[in-house]
């Protein structure tokens, strides 16, 4: 709740539709907005950035007076299941009940929005069937994620997923992504990208300091813990989702003497167990399992000397943007998503954590640490300041009728049998991975979209 209050307080005129902010124009009509998302706050141990985005979007749109319905397995208001790929994490299930739910919701809403996920073909189909525009946001580089997995994931799942999303981007009424660098990657791979939306929607909580010096000192003590046997000189923080592409295991190897690495976050059950084994206070590695809210995270950034990450790739690199807004410099892998944000020596440093000399490089970065004010100054010219707000894009798309959609419009006589075949194939291929399947746990009103269940 604290992070929601901070978000609402920032630049009050952003809570108004663009037409209202312009002066004499009439405010836009009240919309019924449908958000379909596999993840949603407060459950952000998988897909954290995506979950925070749609939680913040809900807040922004409702602040403007729109009626918003959120459908997510995290809210248990649709048929969902658990798979052995992500144990402990509910996922949307392709059931006849869900198909009826999707159809009903698309008929009764003015606009819909969703990230990249397995149910996307159904969302696009019902969008074309009902004429309700859909905004498809590409957040995750699934190709890179899967290529870092098993043999089957690398050579079978990765190309299938990549080709599927590529074709779907051309059929979705509007396709957007999270950063200019990831947009360039997608365009090179043949995706259709209408534009990039600003990450401001989930950054406002980091822009202003409210903590006392005592609260920051307490946060620093919490990061270090009470089992580190030496006097600590510098505190490094890794914050976020624990997954294989983050390569968290490389960070302890690059940790200089008298430094503490605090690993804060969570992830799928199997990955979380691996990260927890890194906990070794005697060598300066302290693992804190659990996702913290944005307000607490901002305090932890300010209590740290550096943010560190060895992630092989990022579509956005949200933690860098967050840390810089808090005045904390970064030491991160020279990887897509990071390179466009790091101003060498002014807000941080790019290193190769796979190098045998990574520890020496990190030590050099410590010696050249930029001041708090130097870091904050780079945030004044952020790359995202001229990008459109996600909530504005949703409002504008709602006004577009189907003939105005800038996408391929397959004839329904072709689309309908194609989606039926996809439904059957999806059920057959996903069945071996399903551990259990659960139904809706909300009342009929919640499921039909006439009311919204939102966890606080």
State the CATH number of the domain containing residue 411.
3.40.50.2000
- Do 129 and 274 have their domain in common? no
Least confident of 125-129, 300-304, 405-409, 433-437: 433-437
- Do 418 and 335 have their domain in common? no
Instruction: Judge whether 455 lies within some domain.
Output: no
Beta-bridged to residue 123, according to DSSP, are none
- Do 327 and 440 have their domain in common? no
d(CA 204, CA 449): 29
Mean pLDDT for all residues in the chain: 84
- Do 167 and 245 have their domain in common? no
Instruction: Judge whether 168 lies within some domain.
Output: yes
Task: Please state the rounded mean pLDDT for residues 349-355.
Answer: 95
* pLDDT: which is higher, 362 or 148: 362
Q: Phi and psi of 387, rounded to 5°?
A: -80, 150
Question: How confident is the model at residue 137, as a pLDDT?
Answer: 95
- Do 225 and 347 have their domain in common? yes
Q: Can you list the positions of beta strands (E) in 336-419? A: 348-351
Question: How confident is the model at residue 256, as a pLDDT?
Answer: 95
The three state secondary structure string of 103-152 is HHHHHHCCEEEEECCCCHHHHHHHHHHHCCCEEEEECCCHHHHHHCCCHH
Question: How confident is the model at residue 86, as a pLDDT?
Answer: 62
Domain end (from 361, 379, 397): 379
Instruction: Judge whether 453 lies within some domain.
Output: no
Tens digits of residue pLDDT in 154-195: 788 778 888 999 999 999 999 999 888 899 999 999 999 999
- Do 335 and 432 have their domain in common? no
Q: Phi and psi of 234, rounded to 5°?
A: -130, 145
- Which residues are within 8 A (CB) of 173 and not within 5 positions of it... i.e. 6 or more apart? 127, 133, 134, 135, 136, 397, 400, 402, 405, 406, 407
Domain end (from 379, 411, 439): 379
Tokens 């780079």, residue located: 378
Residue 349 pLDDT > 80: yes
- Do 171 and 308 have their domain in common? no
- Do 187 and 245 have their domain in common? no
d(CA 208, CA 200): 13
Residue 413 pLDDT > 70: yes
**Total domains present in the chain:** 2
Q: How much of the chain, in percent, has pLDDT values that exceed 70?
A: 84
Query: Global pTM?
Result: 0.83
Question: How confident is the model at residue 22, as a pLDDT?
Answer: 38
Kindly give the pairing relationship between strand 348-351 and strand 111-115: unpaired
How far is CA 385 from its chain centroid?
19
Tens digits of residue pLDDT in 206-234: 888 888 999 999 999 999 999 999 999 99
- Do 28 and 58 have their domain in common? yes
Domain end (from 358, 379, 400): 379
The 8-class DSSP code of residue 184 comes to H
- Do 216 and 341 have their domain in common? yes
Least confident of 7-16, 133-142, 343-352, 396-405: 7-16
Residue 23 pLDDT > 80: no
Task: Please state the rounded mean pLDDT for residues 13-33.
Answer: 54
Tens digits of residue pLDDT in 94-140: 889 999 999 999 999 999 999 988 899 999 999 999 999 999 999 88
**Nearest by Cα to 10 from 292, 200, 295:** 200
- Do 154 and 241 have their domain in common? no
Instruction: Judge whether 45 lies within some domain.
Output: yes
- Do 345 and 392 have their domain in common? no
* CA dist 136 → 26, 43, 141, 175, 231 (Å): 28, 22, 14, 5, 50
**Nearest by Cα to 390 from 192, 206, 240, 194:** 194
Q: Which domain holds residue 19?
A: 2-198+387-448
Question: How confident is the model at residue 80, as a pLDDT?
Answer: 85
How many Cβ atoms from other residues are within 10 Å of residue 195's Cβ? 13
Tens digits of residue pLDDT in 64-100: 999 999 999 988 899 887 766 666 678 888 889 999 9
């Amino acid at each position: 709740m604290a992070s929601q209050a901070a978000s609402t307080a920032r630049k009050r005129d952003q809570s108004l539709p663009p037409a209202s902010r312009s002066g004499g124009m009439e405010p836009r009509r009240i919309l019924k907005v449908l958000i379909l998302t596999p993840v949603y706050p407060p459950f952000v141990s998988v897909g954290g950035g995506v979950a925070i985005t749609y939680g913040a979007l809900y807040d922004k749109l409702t602040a403007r007076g729109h009626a918003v319905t959120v459908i997510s397995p995290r809210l248990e208001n649709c048929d969902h299941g658990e798979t052995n790929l992500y144990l402990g994490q509910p996922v949307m299930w392709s059931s006849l009940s869900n198909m009826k739910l999707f159809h009903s919701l698309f008929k009764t809403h003015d606009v819909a929005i969703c990230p990249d996920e397995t149910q996307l073909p159904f969302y696009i189909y019902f969008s074309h069937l009902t004429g309700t525009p859909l905004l498809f946001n590409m957040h995750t580089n699934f190709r890179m994620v899967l290529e870092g997995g098993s043999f089957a994931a690398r050579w079978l799942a990765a190309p299938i997923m990549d080709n599927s999303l590529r074709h779907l981007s051309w059929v979705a009424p509007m396709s957007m992504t999270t950063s200019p660098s990831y947009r360039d990657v997608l365009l090179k791979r043949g995706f259709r990208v209408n534009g990039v939306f600003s990450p401001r929607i989930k950054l406002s909580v980091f822009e202003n300091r409210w903590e006392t010096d005592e609260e920051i000192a307490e946060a620093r003590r919490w990061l270090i813990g009470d089992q580190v046997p030496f006097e600590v000189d510098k505190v490094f923080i890794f914050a976020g989702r624990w997954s294989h592409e983050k390569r968290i295991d490389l960070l302890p190897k690059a940790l200089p003497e008298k430094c503490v690495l605090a690993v804060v976050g969570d992830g799928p059950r199997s990955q979380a167990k691996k990260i927890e084994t890194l906990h070794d206070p005697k060598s300066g590695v302290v693992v804190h399992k659990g996702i913290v809210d944005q307000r607490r995270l901002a305090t932890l950034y300010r209590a740290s000397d550096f943010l560190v990450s060895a992630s092989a790739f990022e579509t956005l690199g949200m933690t860098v943007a967050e840390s810089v807004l808090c005045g904390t410099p970064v030491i991160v892998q020279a990887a897509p998503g990071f390179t466009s944000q790091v101003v060498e020596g002014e807000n941080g440093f790019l290193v190769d954590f796979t190098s045998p000399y990574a520890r020496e490089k990190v030590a050099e970065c410590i010696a050249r640490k930029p001041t708090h004010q130097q870091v904050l100054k780079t945030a004044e010219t952020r790359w995202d300041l001229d990008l459109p707000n996600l909530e504005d894009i949703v409002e504008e798309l709602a006004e577009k009728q189907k003939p105005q959609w800038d996408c391929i419009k397959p004839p329904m006589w072709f689309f309908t049998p194609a989606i039926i075949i996809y439904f059957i194939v999806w059920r057959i291929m996903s069945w071996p991975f399903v551990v259990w399947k659960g139904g809706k746990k909300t009342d009929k009103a919640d499921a039909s979209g006439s009311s919204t269940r939102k966890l606080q």
